[in-house]
């Protein structure tokens, strides 16, 4: 597993202040708006004592590499890996089983005697 894709980063590209909330949103796959609303709720509920933790996280977290994901599908895949690695491994195994099954069907189709296919090959010669 690639370590850089399973690490929490500050997301400065989608940041409002330091990128901590958008980094958490990217890491968890939750919409950044909900993370920001949760942060504001925590800010109100704790009377502002959460502010130092936010700035400490902003200073300690590395900035998200610019080209961490190739496309949106890859980003969603890594978010699922972070949320539930076992489920993602099952999904990957299931996809490989499906590919193996379809490949076996294609192989069976070409290996067995197929009069129509044989006629087409003979016609092409």
- pLDDT, tens digit, for every residue of 50-98? 888 888 888 888 777 777 776 777 777 777 777 777 777 788 888 899 9
Buried b (16+ CB within 10 A) or exposed e, 32-59: beebbeebeeeeeeeeeebeeebeebbe
User: Using CA atoms, how far apart are residues 121 and 112, in angstroms rounded to an integer?
Assistant: 15
CA distances to 42, 45, 85 from 48, rounded to whole Å, are: 8, 8, 35
Mean pLDDT of the chain, nearest integer? 79
Q: Please indicate whether residue 69 or residue 23 has the higher confidence score (pLDDT).
A: 23
Determine the 3-state secondary structure of 63 from DSSP: strand
Delimit the domains of the chain by residue range: 1-70, 84-125
Q: Please indicate whether residue 56 or residue 122 has the higher confidence score (pLDDT).
A: 56
């Amino acid at each position: 597993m690639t370590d850089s894709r399973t690490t929490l980063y500050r997301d400065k590209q989608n940041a409002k202040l330091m990128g901590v909330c958008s980094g958490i949103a990217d890491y968890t796959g939750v919409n950044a708006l909900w993370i920001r609303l949760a942060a504001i709720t925590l800010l109100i509920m704790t009377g502002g004592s959460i502010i130092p933790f936010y700035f400490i996280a902003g200073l300690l977290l590395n900035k998200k590499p610019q080209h961490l994901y190739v496309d949106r599908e890859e980003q969603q895949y890594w978010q699922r890996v972070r949320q539930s690695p076992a489920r993602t491994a099952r999904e990957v195994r299931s996809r490989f089983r499906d590919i193996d099954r379809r490949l076996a069907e294609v192989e069976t189709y070409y290996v067995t005697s197929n009069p129509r296919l044989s006629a087409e090959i003979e016609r092409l010669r």
